[in-house]
Amino acid sequence: MLHLPKLAMGALVATALSIGAASAQTVLRSSDTHPDGYPTVEAVKRFGELVAERTDGRYSVEVFHSAQLGEEADTIEQTRFGVIDLNRVSLGPFNGLVPETKIPSLPYIFRSVEHMRKVMDGEIGDEILAAFEPHGLIGLAFYDGGARSFYNSEKPIASIDDLSGLKFRVMQSDVFVDMVEALGADATPMPYGEVYSAIETGVIDGAENNWPSYETSGHAEVAKYYSLDQHLIVPEVLVMSKTTWDTISPEDQEIIRQAAKDSVPYQRELWDAQEEKSREAVIAAGSEITEVDKAPFIAAMEPIYEKYADTPELKDLVARIQAVE
Ligand code: BDP
């Protein structure tokens, strides 16, 4: 609920009269799979505060965390159709819809988190944000999702050979299915919320994710072997429904874009702290961490690049990302 002082209220009413009542005090609903307090959830809340402040309360944001609005594949569809206004999701589940998102989702495309930040903060990032629009979404900003590594309930993984015969859950994208299969393991795409019980009941042996997700999802409780292969550094993205976007004045659209960008440094600060906290927490709770020689993993990914960077434009995108120092 918004509580505005009288003066601000007067200004709000005047603005509402001049640009149409439909945009007065609109609460934008935003989805996130993560629990309250998670860096992405907190960053979207901060974004909402900036939006409310800068639009004099014409717009505010309510974050529905913990997958209250559904699992990501479903909430993405609902966002495209304007049922949900905003969504914070990994780029992975967009791979089938927005071809450009496949490239920053390729294994080992980024040399480090710093490399990823530099690319996504620059021209290439803006180009990928713009690529959402023909698909009913407006890309607003990228957040950090750290590096993802494999974990499982069976044994420590120190080499590619150790992966053989194990079954891993991946996000819903063919890129990740092929990635796991190229390493000689089996892959099952599955919604995030189903992974815990799938590991617990032995339907799968493990999954792959960053430290904060590994901890906060509880997966660490049922899959204690975590291998630091860091095969993916997939950015997270905040998108808005184009249906909602089109009801917003150009001035407020600009405010919303800027507020999203302005929430990025805050998310990164929270992210860095959370990674460390989660890593320490899972180790204290008994997770066993294995160092991995990444070179053979990187070499095994060559066919994935050939298959998914399958147009001159996408090949060029790979080359341009790799060229960023
Ligand atoms: C987390 C991402 C989240 C994905 C989840 C997953 O933040 O958007 O849903 O991984 O593996 O790291 O599905």
The CATH number of the domain holding residue 78 is 3.40.190.170
Distance 90 CA to ligand 1 centre (A): 6
Q: Rounded CA gap, 46 and 264, in Å?
A: 10
Same domain, 61 and 138: yes
Same domain, 82 and 114: yes
Does residue 19 lie in a domain region? no
With a 6 Å cutoff on the Cβ, whether 173 touches ligand 1 is no
* Residue with CA nearest ligand 1 atom 1: 213
Same domain, 284 and 260: no
Does residue 121 lie in a domain region? yes
Same domain, 182 and 133: no
With a 6 Å cutoff on the Cβ, whether 171 touches ligand 1 is yes
Residues sharing a CB contact under 8 Å with residue 175, sequence separation 6 or more, in sequence order: 92, 95, 102, 105, 106, 304, 308
pLDDT at site 167: 98
Same domain, 216 and 296: yes
pLDDT at site 23: 47
Atom of ligand 1 nearest to the CA of 210: 12
CB 163 within 8 A of CB 297: no
Domain that holds residue 30: 24-145+234-276
Q: Which residue, of 260, 276, 292, is where some domain finishes?
A: 276
Tell me the helix, strand and coil percentages in the chain, rounded to 5.
50, 15, 30
- Could you give the number of structural domains in the chain? 2
CA atoms within 13 A on the CB side of 112: 5
Same domain, 202 and 267: no
Q: Rounded CA gap, 108 and 229, in Å?
A: 10
With a 6 Å cutoff on the Cβ, whether 149 touches ligand 1 is no
With a 6 Å cutoff on the Cβ, whether 31 touches ligand 1 is no
Same domain, 263 and 286: no
Same domain, 210 and 305: yes
* Residue with CA nearest ligand 1 atom 5: 192
Handedness of CA 270, 27, 217, 295 (dihedral sign): negative
pLDDT at site 24: 64
Distance 92 CA to ligand 1 centre (A): 8
Does residue 11 lie in a domain region? no
Does residue 12 lie in a domain region? no
Per-residue pLDDT tens listing for the chain (325 residues): 334 444 444 444 444 444 444 446 999 999 999 999 999 999 999 999 999 999 999 999 999 999 999 999 999 999 999 999 999 999 999 999 999 999 999 999 999 999 999 999 999 999 999 999 999 999 999 999 999 999 999 999 999 999 999 999 999 999 999 999 999 999 999 999 999 999 999 999 999 999 999 999 999 999 999 999 999 999 999 999 999 999 999 999 999 999 999 999 999 999 999 999 999 999 999 999 999 999 999 999 999 999 999 999 999 999 999 999 9
Mutate to test the pocket of ligand 1, among 179, 192, 211, 217 (most ligand atoms within 8 A of CB): 192
Does residue 45 lie in a domain region? yes
Does residue 4 lie in a domain region? no
Same domain, 249 and 312: no
pLDDT at site 108: 98
Same domain, 109 and 171: no
Distance 192 CA to ligand 1 centre (A): 7
Does residue 162 lie in a domain region? yes
- The single-letter DSSP state of residue 197 is H
Mutate to test the pocket of ligand 1, among 171, 195, 233 (most ligand atoms within 8 A of CB): 171
Same domain, 187 and 290: yes
For 254, the token pair is 């600009």
With a 6 Å cutoff on the Cβ, whether 92 touches ligand 1 is no
Does residue 5 lie in a domain region? no
Same domain, 291 and 186: yes
